[in-house]
Amino acid sequence: MPLSALDGHWTAQAACGSGDVSPDALFVEGAAQRQARNVCTRCPVRLMCLADALDSRMDFGVWGGMTERERRALLRRRPEVRSWWDELVGEKETVDA
């Protein structure tokens, strides 16, 4: 689903911004992270969210379906990646930021 200038930033399309989910629900620990990740499974902008979190080195919360621990492990495994946006989203989406 390409995003146009009319749609705004990718966050406007995020499942967690629908009003059905409290933002605090994505900043949990332990088993509660499983529920937070479930929000991401139906999100149309999951990869954009994950790429942004990886590029920004977000330390806390579930972003794009990954916990902070999973993101740190991925960053350690793939230190050569300079732009996760290019790696995950690339030319698939057009976003006017």
Task: Determine, yes or no, domain membership for 96.
Answer: no
Domain ranges, residue 46: 10-89
pLDDT classification of 24: cutoffs 50, 70, 90: confident
**Local structure of residue 66 (DSSP, 8 states):** B
- Alpha carbon separation from 95 to 3, 9, 14 (Å, rounded): 5, 7, 14
Average pLDDT over residues 83-97: 72
Is residue 49 situated within a structural domain?
Answer: yes
Residue 4 forms part of a structural domain: no
- 73, pLDDT greater than 80: yes
Q: What are 85's two structure tokens?
A: 């946006």
Q: What is the mean pLDDT of residues 7-28?
A: 84
Domain tally, the chain: 1
Q: Which residue has the higher pLDDT, 92 or 97?
A: 92
pLDDT for the residue 91: 62
Q: Determine, yes or no, domain membership for 47.
A: yes
